[in-house]
Chains A and B, each alone.
Chain A
Amino acid sequence: GAVVSQHPSRVICKSGTSVKIECRSLDFQATTMFWYRQFPKQSLMLMATSNEGSKATYEQGVEKDKFLINHASLTLSTLTVTSAHPEDSSFYICSASPVSYGYTFGSGTRLTVV
């Protein structure tokens, strides 16, 4: 089946540093990928839609300069949290759609900023 691989699964970083999260589609091409953020005990909130070869589309209220998204190939999208602060600590999860109206999710990245 279609697999989306997400790395790292956990990361702890110091406040002010940047963290890159990778999302790869292993056995299919993904022209579009989606990035979600989930705070503890809350739902998944869409942050942005990543489009291969073009700029990402950000949801309202998401800072483009803080959450940099790059989708340079049909199998890789990256999310970089720049100048991370403790309030950015969250669970980040990506997804892609290998078939029409179906979604595969990565295993998620738990980011802790200290």
Chain B
Amino acid sequence: AQKVTQAQTEISVVEKEDVTLDCVYETRDTTYYLFWYKQPPSGELVFLIRRNSFDEQNEISGRYSWNFQKSTSSFNFTITASQVVDSAVYFCALRSSNQGGKLIFGQGTELSVKP
């Protein structure tokens, strides 16, 4: 079975704090892709990153960084020096090679960054 778990439903931080959003996934496939999306209040989904199962290198993009650990089936997302504009719901998602292109989303983490 394919499953994505984001255990943190809501996180509240003060501006400039660092924050990590957790994501744990389950799949029996050896080839799969992991994604993070940001959903601001307007509702659209903003693509942040895609990572395939064969690439465990961590990635940094500005204030964003991702830690992919196959050993623990985790793909965590860290925002450094958070800003009010980072306030949104963040979704982790999984696409396995045998799922016909379907994305399985986690429950989402609502991040609130207060000034």
Partner of A103, one of B35, B42, B52, B106: B35
> A49 touches which one: B33, B100, B107 (CB < 8 A)?
B100
A:41-96 near B, CB below 8 Å: 41-46, 49, 57, 91, 93, 95
Residues of chain A within 8 A (CB-CB) of B105 are 43-45
In the assembled complex, A29 has its CB within 8 A of some CB on chain B = no
Known contacts A101-B95, A103-B35, A108-B44; A34/B102 CB under 8 A? yes
Q: Cβ of B37: which chain A residues have Cβ within 8 Å of it?
A: 105
| CB within 8 Å: A-B pair count | 52
Q: Name which residue of chain A comes closest to B33, CB basis.
A: A101
Q: A42, A49, A104: which contacts B102 (Cβ < 8 A)?
A: A49
A25 proximal to B (CB < 8 A): no
Q: Digit string of A90-114 for contact with B (CB within 8 Å is 1, else 0)?
A: 0101010100011111111010000
> B44 and A32: CB pair below 8 A?
no
Cβ contacts A to B, 5 pairs, < 8 Å: A34-B102, A43-B106, A46-B102, A49-B102, A108-B43
